[in-house]
């Protein structure tokens, strides 16, 4: 282990907006009724104005980080870039493995990078309360913390399976003053409809998003925030890659391959997009690999279609690689990756062959997590363990070829709240879940009707 830090002055002052530089822009979000492209103004009832503008900004490659947000970033940034000598040695690989350690934020994950920005913009606009969804709770915890910092009320719908699997994260959100409701709940029409159809439904991010949007729509002076999928969330997360770029320079190397786990795409975009711009101008040939669960394989097995971002169909139609908005992923512990679709930018990048994806079974991710914990001393979140597993696959390839490949992955968060999952692993009671073609066709075959 060797760590690289930036001085406070070197912490980036702007986020990188890849939309300005993409060879092919994603297709626009559409109004589900009119099928017309959505403007920023169309999004104002749901998102803060500044976030809505960022969402559709395809011209400015650099967006200033508001100074109060950058001040709050300084509480935990720069996060360390770490050379994982221990992991390299135990694998016996000639690869050079680096990871960006986002687990050191106060709430334990990268999610705070966007939560602080979204809460700040809400406060600036005079908003009183914010709603959101969360899976494993990393985003909900970040949002609760950020809302508390800016004096906003926060209401979080947490996917029921995670609410029950990870009670400590619920308590963290409550400690920061948020109201937390397991989703699906009877508190919204969307939730009631799901429960009526399936009383034992354990929820999904898609359902929780529906409930959070519905609460936002029915509450005065309230806006909805979310932790991934949308362009502006990835934008805020680019602080990760921009720092990593400077830190890799300190280490005297440049990544051949960059790996991130993939739920909606914000941590992937966060670490990958800043490096992609060098590929776009032919300066570099870095590979970008998204690691997703085999039980929720939208990138490797999904269809490229307009789809809703939520289960109830409250969102605009988004151009997505998707498993269908009614797809209900298996109850894996990586709750943050249990989302049916990929954000518009990543979906376009996949179409254009500018990134790759792998899908990984749950037990392989925990094998990787255990090895990482014992060699690097940090217990990773189950989501991050997907990136570690993909990294180990790459590093093992290098054993065959003798290649000194430089691998950089994003350690999105620690797993201290996920120890129940580790306990299952240690006791041999953890399961794999695969997704069949049939599972996918069930919810994607009808998507063409949407548009």
Handedness of CA 78, 83, 86, 88 (dihedral sign): positive
What's the chain's Rg over C-alpha atoms? 20
**Out of 423, 434, 445, 448, the residue judged to bind its own copies by CB under 8 A:** 423
Among the listed ranges 50-58, 103-111, 238-246, 391-399, the one in contact with its own copies (CB under 8 A) is: 103-111
Minimum Å distance from CB 404 to its own copies?
24
Task: Tell whether residue 251 is a contact of its own copies (CB under 8 A).
Answer: no
Task: Tell whether residue 419 is a contact of its own copies (CB under 8 A).
Answer: yes
**Out of 13, 37, 45, 75, the residue judged to bind its own copies by CB under 8 A:** 75
Pick the closer one to its own copies by CB: 306 or 425.
Answer: 425
Among the listed ranges 89-97, 127-135, 352-360, 415-423, the one in contact with its own copies (CB under 8 A) is: 415-423
**Listed residue (309, 306, 301, 337) closest to 325, CA to CA:** 309
**Out of 171, 179, 193, 361, the residue judged to bind its own copies by CB under 8 A:** 171
**Out of 25, 35, 74, 396, the residue judged to bind its own copies by CB under 8 A:** 74
Confirm if 293 and 189 have CB atoms less than 8 A apart: no
**Out of 36, 175, 221, 401, the residue judged to bind its own copies by CB under 8 A:** 175
Residue 426 vs residues 52, 75, 363, 413: alpha-carbon distances, Å: 45, 35, 11, 20
Rounded distance, CA 268 to CA 256, Å? 16
Q: Tell me which H or E stretch contains 372.
A: helix 362-376
Task: Tell whether residue 148 is a contact of its own copies (CB under 8 A).
Answer: yes
What letters, b where the CB count within 10 A reaches 16 and e where it falls short, cover 240-254? bbbbbbbbbeebeee
Task: Tell whether residue 426 is a contact of its own copies (CB under 8 A).
Answer: yes
**Out of 172, 229, 349, 360, the residue judged to bind its own copies by CB under 8 A:** 172
Task: Tell whether residue 195 is a contact of its own copies (CB under 8 A).
Answer: no
Among the listed ranges 31-39, 101-109, 239-247, 274-282, the one in contact with its own copies (CB under 8 A) is: 101-109
Minimum Å distance from CB 122 to its own copies?
18
Minimum Å distance from CB 366 to its own copies?
10
Among the listed ranges 61-69, 102-110, 390-398, 443-451, the one in contact with its own copies (CB under 8 A) is: 102-110
> Which 294-323 positions form the footprint of its own copies (CB under 8 A)?
none
Angle at 6 between CA 3 and CA 10, to 5 degrees: 165
**How do beta strands 129-134 and 96-101 pair?**
unpaired
Confirm if 116 and 146 have CB atoms less than 8 A apart: yes
Task: Tell whether residue 139 is a contact of its own copies (CB under 8 A).
Answer: no
Confirm if 377 and 396 have CB atoms less than 8 A apart: no
Task: Tell whether residue 3 is a contact of its own copies (CB under 8 A).
Answer: yes
**Per DSSP, what are the bridge partners of residue 293?**
360
DSSP output for 97-140: EEEEEGGGSTTSBTTHHHHHHHHHHHHHTT--EEEEEESSSHHH
Task: Tell whether residue 23 is a contact of its own copies (CB under 8 A).
Answer: no
DSSP output for 153-207: EEEEEEEHHHHHH-HHHHHHHHHTT-EEEEES-TTSHHHHHHHHH-TT----HHH
DSSP state of 335: G
Task: Tell whether residue 416 is a contact of its own copies (CB under 8 A).
Answer: yes
Pick the closer one to its own copies by CB: 257 or 371.
Answer: 371
**Out of 1, 20, 40, 450, the residue judged to bind its own copies by CB under 8 A:** 1
Minimum Å distance from CB 313 to its own copies?
35
Task: Tell whether residue 335 is a contact of its own copies (CB under 8 A).
Answer: no
**Listed residue (162, 93, 92) closest to 382, CA to CA:** 162
Among the listed ranges 122-130, 186-194, 242-250, 420-428, the one in contact with its own copies (CB under 8 A) is: 420-428
**Out of 61, 104, 195, 450, the residue judged to bind its own copies by CB under 8 A:** 104
**Out of 119, 149, 230, 321, the residue judged to bind its own copies by CB under 8 A:** 149
Rounded distance, CA 20 to CA 426, Å? 47
**Listed residue (13, 57, 34, 106) closest to 230, CA to CA:** 57
Residue 237 has which token pair? 């997360």
Minimum Å distance from CB 272 to its own copies?
26
Minimum Å distance from CB 70 to its own copies?
14
Pick the closer one to its own copies by CB: 114 or 305.
Answer: 114
φ/ψ (deg, to 5) at 388: -65, -45
φ/ψ (deg, to 5) at 52: -60, -40
Pick the closer one to its own copies by CB: 105 or 225.
Answer: 105
First to last CA, the chain: 51
- Where do contacts with its own copies occur on this chain (CB under 8 A)? 1, 3, 74-75, 104, 106-108, 145, 148-149, 167-169, 171-172, 174-177, 370, 373-374, 377-379, 416-417, 419-420, 422-423, 426
């Amino acid at each position: 282990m060797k760590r690289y830090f930036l001085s406070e002055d070197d912490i980036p002052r702007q986020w990188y907006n890849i939309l300005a530089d993409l060879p092919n822009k994603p297709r626009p979000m559409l109004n589900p009724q009119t099928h017309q492209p959505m403007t920023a103004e169309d999004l104002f009832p749901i998102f803060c104005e500044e976030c809505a503008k960022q969402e559709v900004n395809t011209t400015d490659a650099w967006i200033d980080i508001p100074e109060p947000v950058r001040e709050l970033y300084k509480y935990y940034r720069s996060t360390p870039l770490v050379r994982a000598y221990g992991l390299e040695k135990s694998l016996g690989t000639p690869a050079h493995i680096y990871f960006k350690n986002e687990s050191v934020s106060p709430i334990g994950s990268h999610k705070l990078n966007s939560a602080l920005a979204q809460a700040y913009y809400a406060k600036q606009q005079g908003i009183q309360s914010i709603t959101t969804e969360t899976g494993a709770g990393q985003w909900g915890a970040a949002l609760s913390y950020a809302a508390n910092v800016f004096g906003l009320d926060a209401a979080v719908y947490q996917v029921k399976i995670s609410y029950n699997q990870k009670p400590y994260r619920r308590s963290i959100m409550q400690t920061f003053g948020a109201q937390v409701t397991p989703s699906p709940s009877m508190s919204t029409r969307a939730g009631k409809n799901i429960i009526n159809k399936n009383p034992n439904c354990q929820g999904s991010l898609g359902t929780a998003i529906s409930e959070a949007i519905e609460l936002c729509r029915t509450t005065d002076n309230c806006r909805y925030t979310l932790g991934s999928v949308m362009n502006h969330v990835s934008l805020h997360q680019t602080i990760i890659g921009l720092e990593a770029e400077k830190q890799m320079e300190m280490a005297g190397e440049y990544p051949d391959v960059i790996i991130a786990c993939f739920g909606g795409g914000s941590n992937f975009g966060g670490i990958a997009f800043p490096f992609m711009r060098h590929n776009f101008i032919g300066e570099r040939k870095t590979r970008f690999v998204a690691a997703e669960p085999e039980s929720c394989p939208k990138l490797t097995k999904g269809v490229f279609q307009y789809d809703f971002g939520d289960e109830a169909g409250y969102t605009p139609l988004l151009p997505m690689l998707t498993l269908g908005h009614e797809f209900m992923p298996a109850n894996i512990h990586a709750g943050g990756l249990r989302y049916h679709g990929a954000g518009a930018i990543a979906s376009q990048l996949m179409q254009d062959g500018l990134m790759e994806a792998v899908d990984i079974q749950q037990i392989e991710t925990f094998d990787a997590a255990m090895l990482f914990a014992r060699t690097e001393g940090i217990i990773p979140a189950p989501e991050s363990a997907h990136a570690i597993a993909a990294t180990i696959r790459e590093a093992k390839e290098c054993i065959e070829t003798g290649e000194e490949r430089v691998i950089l992955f994003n350690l999105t968060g620690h797993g201290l709240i996920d120890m129940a999952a580790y306990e299952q692993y240690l006791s041999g009671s953890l399961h794999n879940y695969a997704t069949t073609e049939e599972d996918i066709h069930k919810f994607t075959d009808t998507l063409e009707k949407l548009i």
